[in-house]
Amino acid sequence: MAEEVVLLDFWPSPFGMRSRIALAEKGIKYEHKEEDLRNKSALLLQMNPVHKKIPVLIHNGKPVCESLIQVQYIDEVWHDKAPLLPSDPYQKATARFWADYVDKKIYEVGGRVWKTKGEKQATAKKELIETLKLLEKELGDKPYFGGESLGYVDVAFIPFYSWFYALEKCGNFSIEAECPKLIAWAKRCMQKESVAKSLPDQQKVYDFILEMKKHFGIE
Amino acid sequence: MAVVELFGTWFSPYAYRVIWALKLKGISYEYIEEDIRNKSPLLLQYNPIHKKVPVLVHDGKPICESTVILQYIDEIWPQNPLLPADPYDRAVALFWIKFADDKVYLMSKLYQADGEEQRAAVKEWLEMLEVMEENALIGGKKFFGGDEINMVDIAFSFVAHWLGVLEDVVGLEIFEPHKFPRVSSWIQNFKSIPLIKENLPDADKMSAFSKHGREMMLASKSN
C-alpha cells in the first residue's frame, strides 16, 4: 500500500520543525499543509479534537498528535534509516529525560523573554541562560546530543535555535556569548540538510515575533 | 541480579505509578522513603536537575521522571507489557499519558487556590474530566489498556484516588459520578484490581496531612 503522510503545520512552530526534521532524516515524502491558526481547518479540528493544535502527523489517514510522540512514531515505523532514539534502554531513558526537559523549559522561559519587559524579562533571560547552560553541560564534548549522529534530543531542541535571534533582539543579550559550545552545536546541526530545510530564517521569525508583540500590545 | 531501588514519598501519585509498574512485572525492589522538606543527599545526587521523587535506580544508574521510568521498566522487563506493541496504538497511548501528565498540576492548583482562583481551578478540572469522558474512554473498554490496565490507566490514577482526597481537603465535590459515567466506571474497575487496591496510600492519612498543610499555607497567604 502506498504510504500517505501529511503534516499539518505552522511555519514558525518549533514543534512542527521537530517532525519536519524527523521526516527529512528518514527521507519520507509527505504533504505539508500550512495552517492559519486564526482560522483552523476542519481537518485540523477533526484530527486533533482534544487540543486543536499543530503539528498533526496523519499517516494513512490516522492522526498522531504531540511533536515528540510523532518523532518517536516516525523513528519506530521507518526504523531502517537514520535511527533517532538509541537502542539501549538506559540511553533511551536519558534521551527521553532531556527531551522532556527541553519541553518543560525552553518554550515557556523563551516566551517570557519576548513577552515581558523590565524585571520580569531580566528574570526570564537569566533562567533561559541557566537552562541553556545545563543543556550545554549535558552535550559535553559530543558533536550531537545523540553522540556521533543527530538524535532524539537534537531533534527536540534544535528548532528553538531558529528563535534565538528574535530572543536576543527582544532581550538585548547574546546567547553565543554565554553558551558558545551550544551555538557551535546548533551550527553543526544546521549543516545537515534535514535541519537547514526544516528551520525558518531567523529574521523571518523575528519579524513574526514583532507582529505578535504588536498584536498582544507588548512594547 | 541487579539491584532496583525506588526513591519516593508515601503520598506521591508519581511514586505509586512506579510501584504498580514494578509489581505488575514481578520485580523486587528496595523502597526508600524521602522527606520532601528534607531531601537526602543521595536523592539530590541522583536527580540534580529536578530534585524530585520518584527516582528509580537500576544497577546504580538513576532514571528520573515517572513516565520516562515507566517506559524504561517496560523495555527492560517486557512481561505484562504496559504499552501496546503496535506503533500507532502506542502513539495513541502516549498521547493520553501526556494528556494526564499535563493535567496533574491541577491537583496543586486546586489545593493552593481559594476564592476566584478556586472557581477557575474547578472549571479546569471539569473540562479535563469531560475530555476523559468524551474522548479518552470511548469504545466501551473496561480499562484504557483493554481488559487489563496499562500505562494509560496508571497515568490517570490521580483521578481515581487522589482527586477524592483533594475534594475532602478543599471541601468541594468536583467529580459527580452521574455526570461522568464512563470515568466513574473506570475508577471503580481500576480500584477493584487487587494490586491497586492493596497498594494505595491511606486516604484519611493523606487528607489529614494535606488539610493541615493547606491551613498553614492559606494562613500565610493572607498575612
Task: Give the model confidence (pLDDT) of A92-103 as tens digits.
Answer: 999 999 999 999
CATH of the domain at A22: 3.40.30.10
Within-domain flag for A24: yes
Looking at the fold, whether A131 and A211 belong to one and the same domain comes out as yes
Q: At what angle do helices B105-112 and B163-170 cross, to 10 degrees?
A: 10
Looking at the fold, whether A70 and A103 belong to one and the same domain comes out as no
Within-domain flag for A96: yes
Distance from CA of A91 to the nearest CA of B (A): 10
Q: Which domain holds residue A93?
A: 89-216
Residue A84, helix vs strand vs coil: coil
Mark yes or no for CB contact A64/B91 under 8 Å: yes
Within-domain flag for A30: yes
Phi and psi, residue A54, nearest 5°: -100, 160
Looking at the fold, whether A133 and A190 belong to one and the same domain comes out as yes
Q: Report pTM.
A: 0.96
Using the 3D structure, point to which of A57, A77, A97 is the last residue of a domain: A77
The residue extents of the domains of chain B are 4-76, 87-222
Which residues are CB-contacts of B53 (< 8 A; sequence separation ≥ 6)?
B7, B8, B9, B12, B14, B15, B34, B36, B43, B47
Looking at the fold, whether A23 and A113 belong to one and the same domain comes out as no
Phi and psi, residue B53, nearest 5°: -100, 160
Cell numbers for A191, please give them. 549543516
Fold of B4-76: Glutaredoxin (3.40.30)
Pairing of strands A56-59, A31-34: unpaired
| ipTM surpassing 0.90 | yes
Which of A64, A65, A96 is the closest to B68 by Cβ?
A96
Q: What total number of domains does chain A contain?
A: 2
Looking at the fold, whether A71 and A157 belong to one and the same domain comes out as no
Residue A140, helix vs strand vs coil: coil
Top CATH class of B87-222 equals mainly alpha
End-to-end CA distance of chain B: 55
Mark yes or no for CB contact B64/A97 under 8 Å: yes
CATH of the domain at A104: 1.20.1050.10
Average pLDDT over residues B136-149: 89
Which of A69, A78, A108, A153 is the best substitution to test chain B (most B C-beta atoms within 10 A)?
A69
Looking at the fold, whether A163 and A66 belong to one and the same domain comes out as no
Residue B141 binned pLDDT confidence (cut-offs 50, 70, 90): confident
pLDDT tens-digit map of A106-150: 999 999 999 999 999 999 999 999 999 999 999 999 999 999 999
Looking at the fold, whether A50 and A138 belong to one and the same domain comes out as no
Query: Is the peptide bond preceding residue B194 cis, with omega within 30 degrees of 0?
Result: no
Within-domain flag for A159: yes
- Give contacts of A77 with chain B, Cβ < 8 Å: 87
Interface check A134 vs B, CB under 8 A: yes
Cell numbers for B63, please give them. 532514571
> What is the amino acid identity at position A141?
D
- Give contacts of A106 with chain B, Cβ < 8 Å: none
> What is the amino acid identity at position B148?
E
pLDDT tens-digit map of B153-187: 999 999 999 999 999 999 999 999 999 999 999 99
